[in-house]
Structure 1
Amino acid sequence: MDDADLLLRLRVDPADLDPAPERLRPADAEHRIGLPCASCGLPGYATRIVRLADGCRWLDTCRDHMIASATFQAANRPRGDILTDLREAAADAGVALTVVIYGEAG
């Protein structure tokens, strides 16, 4: 599921979302907590950046819609893509990623 599909599922009009930077930085996001949820208007619990055809936008969500977003995306994510997820999370956090795999041959 891409971000445009997610917004459809949450019934959010992309035109109502504020422009956002390409990368999420905690300092940029901190001030958004508490803003109205883009889906229902309740106080926001989380924020994230969605990437759309016309650019990046902030998606502020209450607790329930944050959980719904994660659930929608997890249900539609291809299985076995954990390393890609880790690489994206590391890039978003601005840290280097080193993957170490170990174990005993069976």
Structure 2
Amino acid sequence: MCSFSSEKTPYHPLVLALQPPCPSKRHHHLRLSLHKRRRAQVEERRRKKMILKKEMKMRNLKLYMKNQSIIEENEKLRKQALLLHKENETLLFELQNKFSQQSNIKTK
């Protein structure tokens, strides 16, 4: 008989019936193994979360680097487009001057 107090319990049937049952060694072993399994599951979930966080950080870093290179390329193309636009305006201005000079010569 298992007793939770240090005193001996009387063997009266009422006392025995009201006394909480003593967990068996098997029950204690099952509780420990369940506890260990739960703890292992929690640790596994925690480990997977950490791996996912690291993967997400790497993905974010790669996307950030790719975005930066796209921004740099965009700036280069914008500068090149601006230079081509200025060159186009200059050539158009020269062409208009040339036509206006030719029309002035023909009218004289």
Q: Which TM class, normalised by the smaller chain length?
A: under 0.3
Given the two structures, how large is their TM-score scaled by the length of structure 1?
0.19
Which protein is richer in strand relative to its size? 1
Q: TM-score, normalised by structure 2?
A: 0.19
Q: Which has the higher helix share?
A: 2
The structure, 1 or 2, with the larger RCO (C-alpha pairs under 8 Å, 6+ apart) is 1
